[in-house]
């Protein structure tokens, strides 16, 4: 298999001056005519061949400057079209291919989803539509003509503005769309189908009117309202916060049912997985509403960070994705609660990115080689990429960050650029040298920061000793120290902040330590009392922190830290430590549990904290988080037992109190997805979870809640909590849920997700039966991910069974799915990255299943690459 290296990057010898596409869409096939105006770049030697990319294409005809080409002048196969000796001047190349979108199960290129023709071109899907220079540094204006039968495709959409449309007779009609902005082919999109829509408009800050449309299956229009509201708020926010205005006359979104990812930012025509568009209270949870708002914003923000400024090559993916995730996180923080959003984002980082970064699939946010680019749309590129931008924002401050972003937009608008250029903008704007900081982009692995402290009362001096280690990751045996921004505070015995008169031993800017070496000892003078340090406030860097703080210190922070993130984190660390110790045979003391319980109850009863925050504070870390914390020879059964034991010990003496708070939080208000109501529901469901895991009261409460719930958030929570704890009612609730919502595919996903998390031994047999049912939609990514993805990621006890049944179930499913949709198959397989931290017997069972997959099947490049990296 061929590996692509960043060091081999070179611009194409030819550039594409303009693109005209003509799609004739018919039920049986689609004919694509492409007219590419091409010219050699300066410096290209005469006679240099022009090599266009293709993927599963067959050339029907070819002409150059209007004349058919002789066979000796070109060579074509499924994967490329080569002009042996193109003219050494501007020329027009015309090609024609015929596609069968209905047979395209990979969902890349042009395909049909529930009858609608749609496209997905990022990263390399355009080459499945026509022969092209399919790479992000080839930018061109596109004009698209499409014709189709009016009966099946009354709606014809593409990028840019609609410039012509009309009737063609014989039931056919056409539309012509023109996109005035230069774009790479991965931002191309086309949609044709029989769709309903909702319309609205937005007036930009300079007074331009933009027409907004959301297109969907007929009958779903009302469920698009929240997405439209989110879009309008996103457009306004980008103007307010970043001064960025929308640039076309129309902005359309289309919801489709078969999609490999969440959504796609095609210029002026975003295409969405319908699970991230449709919402109504009876079938969507608060988390679904939150997800819709976030992804609508994310794709919209790409218009500036991704489309107007794009990537030079796919190694730079993080340039657009890390930055855009940072922007969507900031949007949600401004729209909802900043601390709650920060906790949410860090939980996500710790449960998905840290495991990736600490295992066989670790790679830098900007990798330097890949076999299959689709395997690099990872949590490291997205979430760690966002953390890196956040560290820049932390170091530069709000005004400094905005100034740098303004310069980025000014300097690079219209460019296909690099991470280096991005860093250079921040250097030029701030005057800082960021060469060491740039290592965050180039080095894999989560740094481990150890901090210890001491206080000398006589001299009133306080010492913090920091060290950083960065474990080897695949292909990177040695690591450089990183520049780590540590936001911190010192807290005095009465809970108020302590100041200092001077500091030596390192760089400290106000409340920020710039820690840039293997170790450092900072001495603070004039510290009146022995402090408890609050470190990495707001999670100021994506590191694993270990300190010499006692359980008492942590619980002190949980009560007194002025930083809400660290209050939450102190509780998390306190409970993680107790569970991890118990799972490894070191039981907790009664005092430990009493103190933790008291801190949790204080938080619950604190009148100043909001419900959403309290829900996060009361959330006892998941088994997977504790497993990661233990880090080696993990026995998930022991972790699960220890977690249940701790929750039981915490809850038992206060079960009545928790139950009455649960009752008191019930509300008869009409459902709204707003932050206040969602927070209240999450606290109430958090209490239900504690009561179900830790007492015998919860099961009945959950069963009752399932019956009386008036919205999906409460009904789903009741079912999922019952299933995760496998209460005596769980099976019946699953049955009732399935019957109640039969026929709704997005609700079926919820059923699949919950079913896959049952911890009982029979879960694998049940999942096999679900998958084998004749009506299970085996080609739909949402269905497959809901069942298999949640099993792999959230059911450690059954997935990692010593008898290997969990591993085999997944490898057998992956082998089948790979034949249909390699992207979905390889993503499910990434769950095996957990193997290195498991105890030996489980690890070996997992490796055996992977070996069998490799030996018994012909695998796609997608699956092959992931498999080889895990087996290495
Ligand atoms: N930029 C988009 C990535 C994407 C994608 C990647 C691979 C295969 C299918 C895909 N659909 C969308 C989404 C985003 O990050 O905004
Ligand atoms: Zn994105």
pLDDT tens by residue, 490-499? 999 999 999 9
CB atoms within 10 A of CB 872: 8
| Residue of 94, 124, 293, 299 marked catalytic | 299
Q: Are strands 91-99 and 161-169 parallel, antiparallel or unpaired?
A: unpaired
Q: How far is the CA of 778 from the centre of ligand 1 (A)?
A: 21
H/E run at residue 855: helix 840-856
Atom 13 in ligand 1: residue holding the nearest Cα = 264
- Which of 55, 261, 270, 862 gets mutated to test ligand 1 (max ligand atoms within 8 A of its CB)? 261
The span from the CA of 290 to the CA of 336, in Å, is 10
1 falls in which pLDDT band (50, 70, 90)? confident
Mutate to test the pocket of ligand 1, among 55, 259, 320, 377 (most ligand atoms within 8 A of CB): 377
**18 alpha carbon – ligand 2 mean position (Å):** 26
The answer to whether the beta carbons of residues 319 and 441 sit under 8 Å apart is: no
Give residue-wise pLDDT tens across range 409-427. Answer: 999 999 999 999 999 999 9
Residue bearing the CA closest to ligand 1, atom 12? 264
pLDDT in tens, 451-504: 999 999 999 999 999 999 999 999 999 999 999 999 999 999 999 999 999 999
The answer to whether 211 and 201 are in contact (CB under 8 A) is: yes
Average pLDDT over residues 649-665: 98
Ligand 1 site, CB within 6 A: 120, 122-123, 260-261, 263-265, 298-299, 302, 321, 374, 377, 823
- Could you say which DSSP state residue 305 is in? B
Whole-angstrom distance, CA of residue 41 vs CA of residue 439:
33
Question: How many angstroms is it from 192 CA to the middle of ligand 1?
Answer: 20
Per-residue pLDDT, 746:
98
Q: What is the pLDDT of residues 154-169, one digit of tens each?
A: 999 999 999 999 999 9
Query: What spacing in Å lies between the alpha carbon of 315 and ligand 1's midpoint?
Result: 15
Nearest bound ligand to CA 125?
1
For the complex shown, is ipTM > 0.90?
A: yes
Give CA–CA dist 763/766, Å, rounded: 5
Both tokens of 762, joined, read 């029979």
Looking at residues 809-836, what average pLDDT do you find? 98
Query: In this structure, which ligand is nearest to the CA of 263?
Result: 1
Q: Cβ distance 662 to 606 under 8 Å?
A: no
The alpha carbon dihedral of 326, 332, 335, 338 has a sign of negative
335 is catalytic: no
DSSP letter for 71, please.
Answer: G
User: What is the token pair recorded at 645?
Assistant: 């034991």
Q: Which residue has the tokens 């300190």?
A: 547
Q: What region, left, alpha or beta, does residue 207 occupy, with left being phi > 0 and alpha being psi -120 to 50 degrees? A: left
Mutate to test the pocket of ligand 1, among 122, 273, 821 (most ligand atoms within 8 A of CB): 122
Closest ligand (CA of 189): 1
Taking the CB of residue 762, how many other CB atoms lie within 10 A of it?
10
Q: Whose atoms come closest to the Cα of 862: which ligand?
A: 1
Report how many helices (DSSP H) and strands (DSSP E) the chain contains, helices first.
29, 34
When pLDDT is averaged across residues 722-729 and rounded to a whole number, the result is 98
489 vs 397: CA distance, rounded Å: 17
Share of the chain above pLDDT 90, in %: 100
What does the DSSP 8-state code read for residue 786?
I
635 burial (CB, 10 Å; 0-12 / 13-18 / 19+) is buried
The answer to whether 527 touches 461, Cβ cutoff 8 Å, is yes
pLDDT digits 0-9 by tens, 425-443: 999 999 999 999 999 999 9
pLDDT in tens, 755-767: 999 999 999 999 9
**What's the N-to-C CA distance of the chain in angstroms?**
15
- Segment holding 495, helix H or strand E: none
Overall residue count recorded for the chain in this entry: 872
- Residue 158 · residue 146 · CB < 8 Å: yes
Residue 404 reports pLDDT greater than 80:
yes
Rounded mean pLDDT of 233-255? 98
SS (H, E, C) 93-152: EEEEEEECHHHCCCCCEEEEECCEEEEECCCCCHHHCCCECCCCCCCEEEEEEEEEECCC
- Kindly list the strands in the beta sheet with 263-264, ordered across the sheet, starting from the edge strand earlier in the chain: 196-203, 209-216, 250-256, 269-273, 263-264
Report how far ligand 2's centroid is from the alpha carbon of 484 (Å): 26
Distance 318 CA to ligand 1 centre (A): 12
Is residue 543 a contact partner of residue 388, using CB atoms and an 8 Å limit?
A: no
The token pair that represents 333 in the structure block? 């923080």
Ligand 1 probe mutation, 264, 300, 307, most atoms within 8 A of CB: 264
Cβ-in-10-Å burial (0-12, 13-18, 19+) of 711 comes to buried
Residue 447 exposure: Cα atoms within 13 Å on the Cβ side: 27
Residues near ligand 2 ion, CB 5 Å cutoff: 321, 324
Ligand 1 geometric centre to CA of 263 (Å) = 6
Q: Which domains does the chain have, with CATH numbers?
A: 1-194 (2.60.40.1730), 310-442 (1.10.390.10), 448-541 (2.60.40.1840), 543-695 (1.25.50.10), 741-872 (1.25.50.10)
**Digit-coded pLDDT (tens) for 104-152:** 999 999 999 999 999 999 999 999 999 999 999 999 999 999 999 999 9
State how far the Cα of 475 lies from the Cα of 457, in Å rounded to an integer: 48
Residue 325 has pLDDT above 80, yes or no: yes
Closest CA to 634 of 244, 355, 400: 355
Is 229's pLDDT higher than 80? yes
In this structure, the residue with its CA closest to atom 10 of ligand 1 is: 261
Instruction: Spell out the SS3 assignment of 37-52.
Output: EEEECCCCCCCCCEEE
Please identify which residue in the block is written with the tokens 């191309």. 188
Taking residues 706-719, what's their average pLDDT? 98
Residue with CA at minimum distance from ligand 1 atom 14: 264
What value does the mean pLDDT take over residues 634-657?
98
What would the mean pLDDT of 547-567 be, rounded to a whole number? 97
């Amino acid at each position: 298999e061929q590996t692509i290296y960043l060091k081999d990057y070179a611009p194409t010898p030819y550039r594409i001056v303009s693109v005209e596409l003509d799609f004739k869409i018919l039920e049986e096939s689609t004919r694509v005519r492409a007219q590419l105006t091409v010219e050699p770049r300066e410096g290209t030697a005469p006679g240099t061949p022009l090599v266009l990319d293709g993927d599963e294409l067959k050339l029907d005809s070819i002409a150059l400057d209007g004349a058919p080409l002789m066979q000796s002048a070109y060579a074509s196969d499924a994967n490329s079209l080569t002009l042996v000796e193109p003219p050494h001047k501007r020329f027009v190349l015309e090609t024609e291919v015929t596609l069968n979108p209905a047979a395209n199960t990979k969902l890349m290129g042009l395909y049909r989803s529930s009858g609608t023709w749609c496209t997905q071109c990022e990263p390399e899907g355009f080459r499945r539509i026509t022969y092209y220079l399919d790479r992000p540094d080839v930018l061109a204006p596109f004009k698209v003509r499409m014709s189709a039968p009016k009966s099946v495709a009354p709606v014809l959409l593409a990028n840019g503005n609609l410039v012509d449309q009309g009737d063609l007779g014989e039931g056919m009609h056409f539309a012509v769309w023109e996109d005035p902005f230069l774009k790479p082919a991965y931002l191309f999109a086309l949609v044709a189908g029989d769709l309903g829509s909702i319309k609205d408009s937005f007036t930009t800050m300079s007074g331009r009117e933009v027409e907004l449309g959301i297109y969907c299956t007929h009958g779903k229009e009302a469920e698009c309202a929240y997405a439209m509201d989110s879009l309008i708020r996103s457009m306004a926010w980008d103007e307010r916060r970043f001064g960025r205005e929308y640039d076309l006359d129309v902005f359309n979104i289309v919801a489709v049912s078969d999609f490999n990812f969440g959504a796609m930012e095609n210029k002026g025509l975003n295409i969405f997985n319908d699970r991230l568009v449709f919402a109504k209270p009876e079938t969507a949870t608060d988390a679904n509403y939150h997800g819709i708002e976030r992804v609508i914003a994310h794709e919209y923000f790409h218009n500036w960070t991704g489309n107007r400024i794009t990537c030079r090559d796919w190694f730079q993916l993080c340039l657009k994705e890390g930055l855009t995730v940072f922007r969507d996180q900031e949007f949600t923080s401004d729209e909802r609660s900043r601390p709650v959003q920060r906790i949410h984002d860090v939980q996500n980082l710790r449960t998905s990115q840290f495991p990736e970064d600490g295992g066989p699939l670790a790679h830098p946010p900007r990798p330097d080689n890949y076999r299959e680019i689709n395997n690099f749309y990872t949590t490291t590129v997205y979430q760690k990429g966002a953390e890196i931008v956040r560290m820049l924002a932390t170091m530069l401050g709000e005004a400094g960050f905005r100034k740098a972003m303004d310069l980025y937009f000014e300097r690079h608008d219209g460019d296909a650029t690099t991470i280096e250029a991005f860093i250079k903008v921040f250097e030029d704007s701030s005057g800082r040298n960021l060469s060491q900081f740039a290592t965050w982009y180039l080095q894999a692995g989560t740094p481990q920061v150890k901090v210890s402290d001491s206080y000398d009362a006589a001299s009133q001096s306080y010492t913090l000793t920091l060290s950083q280690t960065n474990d080897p990751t695949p292909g990177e045996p040695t690591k450089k120290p990183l520049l780590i921004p540590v936001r911190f505070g010192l807290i005095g015995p009465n809970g108020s902040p302590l100041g200092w008169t001077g500091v030596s031993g390192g760089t400290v800017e106000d409340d920020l330590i710039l820690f840039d070496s293997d170790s450092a000892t900072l001495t603070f003078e004039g510290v009146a009392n022995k402090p408890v340090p609050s470190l990495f406030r707001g999670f100021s860097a994506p590191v694993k922190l270990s300190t010499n703080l006692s359980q008492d210190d942590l619980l002190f922070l949980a009560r007194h830290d002025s930083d809400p993130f660290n209050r939450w984190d102190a509780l998390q660390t306190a409970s993680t430590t107790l569970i991890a110790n118990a799972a490894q045979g070191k039981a907790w003391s009664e005092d430990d549990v009493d103190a933790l319980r008291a801190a949790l109850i204080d938080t619950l009863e604190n009148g100043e904290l909001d419900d959403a925050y309290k829900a996060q504070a009361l959330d006892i870390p998941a088994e997977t988080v504790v497993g990661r914390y233990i880090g080696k020879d993990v026995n998930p059964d022991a972790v699960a037992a220890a977690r249940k034991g701790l929750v039981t010990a915490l809850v038992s003496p206060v079960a009545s109190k928790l139950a009455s708070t649960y009752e008191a939080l019930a509300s008869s208000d009409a459902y709204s997805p707003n932050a206040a109501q969602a927070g209240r529901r999450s606290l109430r469901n958090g209490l239900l979870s504690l009561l179900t895991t830790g007492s015998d009261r919860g099961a009945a409460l959950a069963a009752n809640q399932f019956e009386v719930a008036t919205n999906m958030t409460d009904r789903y929570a009741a079912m999922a909590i019952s299933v995760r704890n496998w209460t005596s009612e769980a099976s019946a609730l699953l049955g009732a849920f399935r019957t109640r919502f039969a026929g709704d595919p997005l609700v079926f996903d919820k059923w699949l997700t919950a079913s896959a998390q049952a911890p009982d031994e029979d879960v694998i047999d049940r999942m096999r039966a679900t998958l084998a049912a004749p009506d299970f939609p085996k080609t739909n990514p949402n269905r497959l991910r809901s069942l298999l993805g949640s099993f792999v990621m959230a059911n450690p006890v059954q997935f990692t069974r010593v008898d290997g049944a969990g591993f085999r179930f997944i490898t057998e499913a992956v082998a089948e799915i790979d034949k249909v949709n390699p992207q979905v198959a390889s993503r499910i397989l990434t769950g095996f990255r957990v193997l290195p931290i498991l105890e030996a017997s489980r690890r070996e069972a997992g490796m055996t299943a992977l070996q069998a997959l490799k030996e018994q099947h012909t695998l796609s490049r997608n699956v092959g690459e992931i498999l080889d990296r895990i087996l290495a």
